[in-house]
Amino acid sequence: MKFAPLILKHLRKNWIRTLSTVLAMAVCIFLICTLQTVVDAVNYGLHLGNASRLVTRHYVSLVFNLPNNYEAKIAAVTGVKNITIVTWFGGMYRGDLKYFFPNLAVEPEKFLAIYPEIMLPEDQKQAWFHDGRGCIIGRKLAEKWGWKVGDAFQLESFIPPYRVGKPFEFVIDGIYDTDLVKYPATDLTAMYFNYKYLYEATGEKTGVGTLTELIDDPSHAGAISKAIDAEFENSDTQTKTETEQQFIAGFVAMAGNLALLLNGIGLAVAFTILLVTANTMSIAVRERQQEIGVLKTLGFPSGLVMALILVEALLLGAMGGALGLLLAGGAIRVLPSVPYIGDVVRQFPGLGLSSRIVTYGLGTALLLGLLAGFVPALLAYRARITEVLRQL
Amino acid sequence: MSTTNTVTTTAVSVQNVRKVYQRDSIQIKVLDGINLEVQQGEFVALMGPSGSGKTTLLNLIAGIDRVTSGKVVVAGTDLTPLSEGELAKWRSRNIGFIFQFYNLIPVLNAVENVELPLLLTPLSGRERRERAMTALRIVGLEDRAKHYPRQLSGGQEQRVAIARAVVTDPTVLVADEPTGDLDHQSAEEILTLMETFNKEFHKTILMVTHDPRAAAKARIQHHLDKGVLSN
Ligand SMILES: Nc1ncnc2c1ncn2[C@@H]1O[C@H](COP(=O)(O)OP(=O)(O)O)[C@@H](O)[C@H]1O
Ligand SMILES: [Mg+2]
């Protein structure tokens, strides 16, 4: 493009202005893309659940357990095909939250029947069914700690009723995998053990955290949920039943709200950058009245003069966008290994700078450049030679 | 236009031109019935007091402003009915501009400034560079090709501007007080250069000036006063 030197030399001549605008743009695109990636991960989490599974919990809060006799009552509700206890144990490896991985107390046989995505060799399944202190762990968790079948480890819960004075001891009976094509969202970092162990170790006093039901028809989910909750309407402990999807949705709603807030921040930053860039461009163009007059005098069509300014603004956007994406890509790669933040981020499978977000980030940068350059370019388009060059 | 150009010997024909500026409710009559004929290859000086409309007349002839009434025919083309876009295209082919304050683009070096009008032609990058260098050689600044305007003296800047004006080989050169910002010595060089282009390259030149010494270089002098032209 033969006009490139003119554009590039302007950017280079005012390199401080160019650099600061590009950096501001880069920070903006970095923020937007990183935030959007996290938002995407959260939204992806919303689809983790299965519509043919319902989750029943304490009406007031997840913090409270349900009575043990609820399981049988719910199993009797029409449409419920199977049911298992799923209780969040809150066990900390090495007694430190830093080494946290999800660990849940379940009923092994029913649990595996309800969760086909948890895939185990038959012998490991049988071993687990018959081992009171046995557990199964996900492939990724096993790889992380170098654990093999037969290894033992201890967990200490941070939940007061489960703190029984000594850590729980577990033996690994199986390492589960999944079919990532069919069940891409399956968590391979979790650990499941027999609820009976928890029940007995706590002196048979603990209730169940949640109950997961497999139902005969996902389209009846609403009706069956209502039927289950109706069962306990007049009891001391009322329940709240929803599909696993809704349950997860509620679980990440807080994160979702946070995402909304973060997106709002991103939008505000983008708007600020728009103003900064628009200012840069209008100063640049105002300083260039003489040049615009000369170009037009020499016969440059007004449209070309306008295009030169738009391209300059687009270039600022493109450079800022590219740099911002580079930063975002780096941050997203580093994020999972950052202490604490990493623990949260790792929960979202497939975290990465998707092509959609790259497009989105670059598009935003170019749009910001275009918007910023539009008014100055239009003024240049309209500028009359006799007015910008009073002296021929 | 270039074909008619060779048929006629009249380079510029200004016919009964009036120019009125409208400022709010006030009408400023700048040119009041101007008639001017310039033959091809002539070197014409336009003189007159400040504010007499010299620049305005030059702008009309160069196709960057429009008449209120009357007709301007330059290089065989009637400019009156042309659109903005057509005028721009016409200017790029027919007019070379020389300004009082040189008006070089500060971010471009000398040769890039000279090349600028050629960007509108279909010439290749190499051809453009060659032509620009040739033009710089003619004005004696080949060795300053990579210098930026701020690294040049006023006289050198004006010579680069002249190179830019002639690089497209236009029919008519218009110059608005080309020596107005220069010391005596540089002014002399510029005028000599313009004479050269007139004599050797047969360029038609219209030069506005109020320096009598400059006007003396021209073969024909016109005086503009209160919107009326006299010889
Ligand atoms: N764009 C314009 N709007 C209004 N008045 C103008 C404009 N351009 C020039 N004039 C007026 O026209 C008159 C002639 O201006 P000009 O042609 O520049 O004179 P000269 O070049 O002879 O000094 C002046 O009175 C000037 O104020
Ligand atoms: Mg003037």
- Alpha carbon nearest to ligand 1 atom 25, residue: B51
Which residues of chain B make contact with A383, given a CB cutoff of 8 A? none
CB A106 within 8 A of CB A193: yes
Is the CB of residue B133 less than 8 Å from the CB of residue B152? Answer: no
pLDDT at A243: 85
In a domain, A316, yes or no: yes
* pLDDT for the residue A49: 58
- Tokens standing for B50? 């400040």
Candidates B20, B30, B64, B89, partner chain A, best to mutate (most A CBs within 10 A): B64
Q: Which residues pair with A170 in a beta bridge?
A: A153
- Hey, what's the torsion of the CAs at A63, A64, A70, A76, to 10 degrees? -40
Q: B164 CA to chain A: closest CA distance, Å?
A: 10
Report pLDDT for A267: 86
| Contact at CB, B106 and A10, closer than 8 angstroms | no
Q: Are A229 and A96 part of one and the same domain?
A: yes
Residue A384 Cβ inside 6 Å of ligand 1? The answer reads no
From B206's Cα to the closest Cα of chain A, the distance in A is 12
Cα B192 from chain centroid (whole Å): 16
Is residue B106 within 8 angstroms of chain A, CB to CB?
Answer: yes
Same domain? For A39 and A65 the reply is no
Which atom of ligand 1 lies nearest, measured to the CA of B53?
A: 17
Q: Is residue A51 part of a domain?
A: no
For residues A229 and A291, state if they share a domain.
no
- Do A99 and A214 lie in one domain? The reply is yes
Q: Which residues in chain A land under pLDDT 70?
A: 42-50, 184, 248-256, 258-259, 339-351, 391-392
**What's the CATH fold of domain B41-66+82-230?**
Rossmann fold (3.40.50)
A365 and A304 in a common domain:
yes
Beta strands in A124-167 (DSSP E): 134-138, 152-157
Cα of A392 from ligand 2 centre, angstroms: 7
Report the alpha-carbon distance of residue B171 to residue A391 in Å, rounded. 22
**Predicted local distance difference test score (pLDDT) of residue A280:** 85
A98: DSSP letter: G
Q: Does residue A205 sit in the same domain as residue A280?
A: no
Number of compact structural domains in chain A: 2
Residue whose CA is at the smallest distance from ligand 1 atom 9: B56
The residue whose CA is least distant from atom 10 of ligand 1 is B21
Q: What is the pLDDT of residues A88-112, one digit of tens each?
A: 999 999 888 888 899 999 999 999 9
Task: Examine the domain organization and report whether A87 and A179 are in the same domain.
Answer: yes
Q: In what order do the strands lie in the sheet with B95-98?
A: B95-98, B172-176, B204-208, B43-47, B220-225, B228-230
Side by side, the strands of the sheet bearing A191-194 are A91-93, A152-157, A168-176, A134-138, A191-194, A103-106, A80-88, A210-215, A53-58, A239-243
Question: Does residue A248 form part of some domain?
Answer: no
A185 C-alpha vs ligand 2 centroid, how far in Å? 76
Please report the pLDDT score of residue B1 as a whole number. Answer: 43
Tens-level pLDDT at each residue, chain B (231 residues): 444 444 548 999 999 999 999 888 899 999 999 999 999 999 999 999 888 999 999 999 999 999 999 999 999 999 999 999 999 999 999 999 999 999 999 999 999 999 999 999 999 999 999 999 999 999 999 999 999 999 999 999 999 999 999 999 999 999 999 998 899 999 999 999 999 999 999 999 999 998 888 888 888 889 988 777 877
| Whether residue A188 sits in one domain with residue A332 | no
Shared-domain flag, residues A86 and A202: yes
Residue A177 sits at φ, ψ, to 5 deg, of: -120, -175
For residue B96, what are the CA distances in angstroms to A45, B100, B172, B203? 68, 14, 6, 10
The pLDDT value recorded for residue A350 is: 61
Within a domain: A199: yes
Shortest CA distance to A71 belongs to which of A118, A117, A103, A110? A110
Q: Is A240 exposed, middle or buried (0-12, 13-18, 19+ CB in 10 A)?
A: buried
Is B91 within 8 Å of A9 when comparing Cβ atoms?
Answer: no
A13 interfacial to chain B (CB closer than 8 Å): yes
Question: DSSP letter at A177?
Answer: B
Distance (Å, whole) CA A26 – CA A270:
10
In angstroms, the CA B179 to CA B88 distance is: 26
Tell which of A183, A205, A237 closes a domain: A237
Indicate whether A206 and A335 sit together in one domain: no
pLDDT of residue A44: 64
- Would A115 be classed as within a structural domain? yes
Instruction: Give exposure, A48-81, as e/b (b: 16+ Cβ within 10 Å).
Output: bbbebbbbbbbeeeeeebbeeebbeebeebebbe
- One-letter amino acid at A180 equals L
Q: Does A10 share its domain with A134?
A: no
Do A138 and A203 fall within a single domain?
yes
- Domain residues for the domain of A299 are 4-45+257-389
Q: Which two tokens stand for residue A313?
A: 């603004």
A185 C-beta neighbours (distance < 10 Å), count = 18
Q: A387 CA to middle of ligand 1, Å? A: 10
